[in-house]
Amino acid sequence: MRAYTVGDQLPAQEFPVVRADLVRYAGASGDFNPIHWNERFAKQVGLPDVIAHGMFTMATAVRVVTDWAGDPGAVIEYSVRFTRPVVVPDPDGATITVTGSVRSVREDGAAEVELTATVDGSTVLARARAVVRPRAGSGA
Amino acid sequence: MPVDQSFRGRSFPPTRPYEVGREKIREFADAINDPNPVYRERAAAQALGYPDVIAPPTFAIVLTLPAGGEVIRDPAFGLDYSRVVHGEQRFVHHRPIVAGDLLQVVVTVEDIRIAAGNELVTNRAEVMTVAGEQVCTAYSVIVARGTAA
């Protein structure tokens, strides 16, 4: 397999999210904050509607990296800033669009990937970066 | 009431050991809509050199969220939990989490600062095996909106 090159584009993906996804994520993650499933509560605390867990969006965005890398265990670092909530109205939900590219390659051959995650054209994650360890046999 | 600054640098006792189950990893992968077989089939994980199924890159939050939550909900800490949002999250993986791991978390309050009227608390959660092997370091920045005003 060839080594990583700065500017390599990762295949972009679109991830639809509906309320049921948030309920399932709440159960699996243990984060039952009602802003993620209860419209009445979300509006009471000043949100436009129920919002996705930031960690759901973070987990979703890295799919672009793990699918590209082939081995999810190759992701040795991953960080994001949560800039804007992903509002998930019922029943239509929202779609998170994720793109990524290799912004730098470390001396040891690891790739630093920069991700963008947007909903309706607005950025929902900032400084979304993942480090992917060198490919086996890439000669790095 | 502002956050008690004396918590800066404080570490908390290790959490109760958590056994990572294969079905829990599958449940989490289902919940993030990720069909990758390496989260579900031992053979697929072994083909990549792992002893058993591995967990997705953000799985550690299942352990670190309650561990950190205990700290930030501590009344002595003084954080207004009703105003808290998740500001940033970072994972550094020393190796993937693998089914069968018996893990503990040690949370340290790394930093407390004030920016634009908000209180920002950075927690570091060291996820390690009960034998002391480092597995993952997770950093969380939580923001209490308007509490520093």
Cα separations (Å) of B29 from A3, A36, B23? 29, 19, 10
> pLDDT category, A94, cuts 50, 70, 90?
very high
What does the alpha-carbon distance between residue A26 and residue B4 come to, in Å, rounded to a whole number?
A: 30
> pLDDT category, A59, cuts 50, 70, 90?
very high
Residue A88 belongs to some domain of the structure: yes
> pLDDT category, A140, cuts 50, 70, 90?
very low
Please give the residue range of the domain that contains residue A116. Answer: 9-132
Q: How many domains does chain A have?
A: 1
Q: Hey, are the CB atoms on A77 and B92 less than 8 Å from each other?
A: yes
Angle at A87 between CA A83 and CA A90, to 5 degrees: 170
Residue A2 belongs to some domain of the structure: no
Which of A15, A28, A62 has its CB closest to that of B31? Answer: A28
3-class DSSP assignment, residue B1: coil
pLDDT of A8 > 50? The answer is yes
pLDDT of B15 > 80? The answer is yes
Residue A4 belongs to some domain of the structure: no
pLDDT of A1 > 90? The answer is no
Question: What distance in Å separates residue B75's CA from the closest CA in chain A?
Answer: 19
Token code pair at residue A137: 């046999």
Residue of B nearest to A30 (CA): B62
> pLDDT category, B1, cuts 50, 70, 90?
low
CA torsion B68-B70-B72-B74 (nearest 10°) is -160
Average pLDDT over residues B8-34: 97
Residue A99 belongs to some domain of the structure: yes
- ipTM score here? 0.96
Which chain B residues in 16-75 lie under 8 Å from chain A, judged by CB atoms?
A: 27-28, 30-34, 36, 38-39, 48, 50, 54, 56-58, 61-62, 65-66
Looking at chain B, the whole-number percentage of residues with pLDDT higher than 70 is 99
Question: What distance in Å separates residue B84's CA from the closest CA in chain A?
Answer: 11
CA torsion B14-B17-B21-B27 (nearest 10°) is -50
Q: Hey, are the CB atoms on B58 and A28 less than 8 Å from each other?
A: no
Residue of B nearest to A29 (CA): B62
Chain-centre distance for alpha carbon A71 = 17
Report CA torsion sign: B135, A57, B25, B29.
Answer: negative
Burial class from Cβ neighbours inside 10 Å (0-12, 13-18, 19+) for residue A32 reads: exposed
Report, in this order, helix, strand and coil percent for chain B, each rounded to 5. 25, 35, 40
What does the alpha-carbon distance between residue B145 and residue B87 come to, in Å, rounded to a whole number?
A: 10
Residue of A nearest to B62 (CA): A29
pLDDT of B37 > 50? The answer is yes
Q: Where along chain B do its domains lie? A: 5-20+56-144
DSSP structural state of residue B16: P
Instruction: Find the CATH number of the domain harbouring A78.
Output: 3.10.129.10
Residue A139 belongs to some domain of the structure: no
Residue of B nearest to A24 (CA): B31
Residue A138 belongs to some domain of the structure: no
Token code pair at residue A125: 């994650």
Which residues of B fall within a CB distance of 8 Å from A128?
A: none
> pLDDT category, A137, cuts 50, 70, 90?
low
Which of A21, A55, A127 has its CB closest to that of B61? Answer: A55
The predicted structure's pLDDT at residue B148: 79
What does the alpha-carbon distance between residue A130 and residue A116 come to, in Å, rounded to a whole number?
A: 11
Which residues of A fall within a CB distance of 8 Å from B92?
A: 76-77
> pLDDT category, A135, cuts 50, 70, 90?
confident
**Average pLDDT value over all residues in chain A:** 95
State the fold for domain B5-20+56-144.
Thiol Ester Dehydrase; Chain A (3.10.129)
Looking at chain A, the whole-number percentage of residues with pLDDT higher than 90 is 93
Over residues B82-114, the pLDDT tens digits come to: 788 899 999 999 999 999 999 999 999 999 999
Q: What strand order describes the sheet that includes A9-17?
A: A9-17, A94-105, A111-119, A122-132, A75-82, B84-93, B134-144, B118-129, B102-115, B18-19
Which of A56, A73, A80 has its CB closest to that of B54? Answer: A73
Over residues B134-147, the pLDDT tens digits come to: 999 999 999 988 88
3-class DSSP assignment, residue B56: coil
Which residues of A fall within a CB distance of 8 Å from B56?
A: 59, 62, 66, 72
Q: What is the pTM of this model?
A: 0.96
Over residues A96-134, the pLDDT tens digits come to: 999 999 999 999 999 999 999 999 999 999 999 999 999
